[in-house]
Structure 1
Amino acid sequence: MEKTAVVLFTRDLRVRDHPALAAACEHADRVVPLFVLDDAILGGRFAAPNRAAFLARALADLREQLRQRGGDLVLRRGDVVEETIAVVAEAGATALVCSADVSGYAQRRERRLAGACAQQGVRFTTYPGVTVVPPGALLPAGGDHYRVFTPYWRAWDAVDWRRQLAAPRTIPGGQAVDRIGRLPFAGELADGDTSPDLPDGGETAGRAVLDAAVRRAGDGEPDLDDLAGDRTSRLSPYLHFGCVSPLEAANRLVDRAPEQVRQLAWRDFHHQVTAAVPSVATKDYRRRDVEWRDDADALRAWQEGRTGVPIVDAGMRQLLREGWMHNRARLVTASFLTKNLRIDWRDGAAHFFRWLVDGDVANNAGNWQWVAGTGNDTRPNRVLNPLRQAKRFDSDGAYVRRYVPELRDVDGAAVHTPWTLPDDERKELDYPDPLLDL
């Protein structure tokens, strides 16, 4: 038994099915839950007001969950390793545990923590929990990771998942540090505007979203590509922050909504790619010698949802309004930027990362590179024609009318092609002509 163990929370803000927390509660006499508001993230290129707002609420909910079990959440701000080791020393801890993560930054953080703990004679252990199947658990013959999804999916679907864990009944021990630390306000974590219709953060809200997804799946597999129907689970922000266990989501949906479980496998796929090749966040996974255009005006029009292509603009405005975008719309808007406008995928990924509550290094870069043809797609020249996508996945224009109010009164299929309307009607719309011919 360890006398005192510190549990460093990072992207795992929950008490249910949390292997690191469960292990600490089982093997230590006293457990100190800790979250460090990391200046390298909050003050650097990872800063995002939408995620900061979600994080602030998630931390409040995590503290409440821990207090209900006799514990508390210690909060610090600064360099994550320095602050963590300071709490370890103050608490007299002999062990530090956390969930393993995959980004280049997360891997460097774990190496630094391991080195600092070794110097202090403290046991440091990482546990799974960020994905359903841990990165590195599935390896192709002769390789360090899967480069194509289909063979990965076959292996993922056949492997036994780890045992799902209940929340600890109690957090053992009492207060081990003099200062607990106050909960942050969203505005002090990141500068800039937030989207007006953000989801509520935290494990309590996340479990309600998961329950709703399971109930909907009980009525039959929903059409996940129906843009206006909006039948996706909307779990992605809660999975990104770890407010919901991806394993629990998979367990609850596997017999009801296999296509949504396949989406969890895609998430694991991108995580195992990033774990093996952290540079995928900023560098082409596969070189395609693409000549990107430098067009600031076109990029700005795309960012603002003013491209003149309604299905694209609807997706981009949903992003600005909600800090979230339907997955089909993400594919359409990304394809339009990279394949039609020929603008670098990194510019698109940066904009998504600025606004998405679920902005995730592995998923964001992996999906953008897949669309751009520089990543894991076996068909790098694939183009998603926005008009065909609109006809197929928003046939009555309800999605466009929801997010592009200028087109709300346009009748029929013309909502997707307003440039075909008579000149007098087009002038009344106050909607731009398309940036290019489709």
Structure 2
Amino acid sequence: MEHAVVLFTQDLRLHDHPALTAALRDGRRVLPVFVLDPVLLGRSARNRVRALPGILRGLRGDLRARGGDLVVRRGDTAAEVAALAAEAGARSVHLTEGVSRAAVRREERLRAVGLRVVSHPGLTVVPPGDVTPAGGDHYKVFTPYLRAWEAHPWRAVLPAPGAVPVPGGVDPGEIPARLDEGRGQAAERPITLGEEAARRRLRAWLDGGLAHYAQRHDDLPAGATSHLSADLRMGCLSALEAATLARDEPGGAEFVRQLAWRDFHHQVTAAFPDIAVRDYRPRGTRWRDDPAALEAWKEGRTGVPIVDAGMRQLLSEGFMHNRTRMITAAFLTRTLGIDWRAGAGHFADHLLDGDVANNHGNWQWVAGTGNDTRPNRAFNPLRQARRFDPEGVYVRRYVPELAGLPGRAAHTPWDSLPPGADYPPPIASPGT
């Protein structure tokens, strides 16, 4: 019986893994593989690269507990998979279908080296392309997409396999202790990633925070979101499983709606793979070139506390609350007039959960070049701060220079700080 390679990419788990399940069907032996491709690693956020060895060690341990293993190689993905397939006597490779240009090219190159490539769902709740509008290849506006998404049947969540038989004689290779040497500043307090940690977080979320999500998800001091985004990004957790478990629970509808937004951006990116480099809806915007302002924004030294708090949370945790992602992106693009690509690139360098579809889709939405039906909407950072951090708790948490200011004074420190205080004046007017 023919063996098969299972190429792990953005699906570093065993639960609800359609590619692995299909490859194991009919008692077939499989060769689970992960390739440390220098090209892809070079484009990845430093915090994800830092977390990757630990995730791979956990995945290898889970596979070994089922009689299998994870074969790890370093090099060009297509070349390494082709060599392993020849060594194991395999002619096909199963993988989870991606939407980025890199994912599409990976499949093309695997076919070019003579392998039969079988792609499977697993990245989203509803696969891109499964729901399309009449006369179009994808939905450009979220609300009609949501209606179609909600009406579309979901596939069944798959259990983790009980056994993973593998071909003999293949050296599994070493998982490096570190991959982030020379990658610059990494987060001081990143979360622990891996399937086991992801499933613990999911269970805690379902048992605790989900019921209050609709009322508290924009509460900046509480941080009352699921914190599952990095687990979904790395594929340590299935979006479909999370949605299936949450949808009928109190608070589940609003949380599942956010997963629909994630799917929305993936189906946009599948149809428009240049989303990271070109305006989805060009509107002739003329961006300013201001390196000093861009650097102040990256460092969290703009003098606008809510912006600086978000940017410093990103640097310290590799994560930022979604509300402050919108606030900081709007300040860069709408207040400073700096190109969204500069901001999206900085986020991509640091976010544990950053991927091409969601990171760049959301940046274009805020910048007015993407899928927002109101591209000129106002986004005042001070009003946002007063609404979602009314007592300045979030700001003081991440901007310690303002720790001594009471309540709302933390949002307008230029009215309260003494001369010479170690906090800059605003580099641009944040509004009133």
Aligned to 2:28: 29
For residue 281 of structure 1, the aligned residue among 276, 297, 310 is 276
Does the 8 Å contact 1:11/1:242 carry over to 2? yes
- 2:131 pairs with one of 138, 155, 158: 138
- Give distance in 2, aligned partners of 1:133 and 1:427: 56
Question: For residues 191 and 292 of structure 1, what CA distance do their matches in structure 2 show?
Answer: 28
SS in 2 for 1:76: strand
**Identical columns (%):** 56
- Cα separation, 2, equivalents of 1:274 and 1:216: 33
Which stretches in structure 2 are left out of the alignment for 5+ residues?
Answer: none
Aligned mates of 1:388, 1:358 — CA distance in 2: 27
TM-score by length of 2: 0.96
Q: Aligned residue for 1:67?
A: 64
1:221-271 residue CA offsets vs partner (Å, 9 max, x unmatched): 351100111011011111011000000010111122211111110010000
Please identify, of 313-322 and 207-216, the stretch whose mean Cα deviation from structure 2 is larger: 207-216
| Corresponding residue number in structure 1 for 2:261 | 266
Question: How much has 1:212 moved relative to structure 2?
Answer: 1.4
Q: One-letter code of the match for 2:422? A: D
Matched with 1:49 is 46
Measure, in 2, the Cα distance between the counterparts of 1:289 and 1:347. 17
Moved more, 106-115 or 64-73: 106-115
Distance in 1 separating the partners of 2:207 and 2:345: 35
**SS class of match (2:34):** strand
CA 1:379–1:165: 2 relative to 1, 3 Å? same
2:145 is aligned with 1:148: no
Q: Secondary structure of the equivalent of 1:280?
A: coil
- TM-superposed CA distance for 1:106, in Å, is 0.6
Q: 2:347 matched to 1:348?
A: no
Instruction: Evaluate the alpha carbon distance shift between residue 188 and residue 391 of structure 1 in structure 2; reply closer, same or farther with a 3 A threshold.
Output: closer
Supply the distance in 2 between the matched residues of 1:310 and 1:50 (Cα, whole angstroms).
Answer: 25
- How many residue pairs are counted as aligned between the two chains? 427
Matching residue of 1:381? 376
Offset from partner CA, 1:147-177 (integer Å, 9 cap, x none):
0011001100111001110000000244341
- C-alpha separation between the residues in 1 aligned to 2:98 and 2:179? 27
In 2, Cα distance between the equivalents of 1:75 and 1:433?
50
Indicate the residue corresponding to 1:81 in structure 2: 78
Distance 1:199 1:300, change over 3 A: same
The whole-number CA distance in structure 1 between the counterparts of 2:46 and 2:240 is 28
For the 8 Å contact 2:393–2:407, the answer to whether it is kept is no
Whether the aligned pair in 2 keeps the contact of 1:407 and 1:429 (CA below 8 Å) is no
Which consecutive aligned stretches of 4+ in structure 1 deviate over 4 angstroms post-superposition? Answer: none
| RMSD, matched Cα | 1.3
Structure 1 position 413, deviation (Å): 1.2
Q: Is the 8 A contact 2:210 2:226 kept in 1?
A: no
Residue matched to 2:190: 198
Q: Distance in 2 between the 1:183 and 1:173 partners?
A: 19
In the alignment, the residues of structure 1 paired with residue 399 and residue 67 of structure 2 have an alpha-carbon distance, to the nearest angstrom, of 49
DSSP-derived class of the 1:21 partner: helix
| 2:227 alignment counterpart | 234
Are 2:203 and 1:208 equivalent residues in the alignment?
A: no
| Equivalent of 2:117 in 114, 124, 127 | 124
* 1:10 matched residue in structure 2: 9
Match of 2:407 among 407, 412, 417: 412
Partner Cα separation in structure 2 for residue 10 and residue 297 of structure 1: 37
Mean Cα deviation higher: 426-435 or 158-167: 426-435
* Offset, 1:420: 1.4
In structure 1, the partner of 2:88 is 91
Q: Return the alpha-carbon distance in structure 2 between the equivalents of residues 102 and 147 of structure 1.
A: 16
Measure the CA separation in 1 of the matches of 2:180 and 2:410: 41
Q: Distance in 2 between matches of 1:192 and 1:435?
A: 26
Q: How big is each residue's C-alpha offset from its partner over 1:29-72, in whole Å with a ceiling of 9 and x where there is no partner?
A: 311100000111123xx133211012121111111111111100
**Structure 1 runs not aligned, ≥5 long:** none
Correspondence 1:183 to 2:163:
no
What is the aligned partner in structure 1 of residue 418 from structure 2? 426
CA deviation digits over 1:380-406, x for unaligned, max 9? Answer: 011310010001100011100110000
Quickly say closer, same or farther: Cα 1:195–1:317, change in 2 above 3 A. Answer: same
The SS at the match of 1:35 is: strand
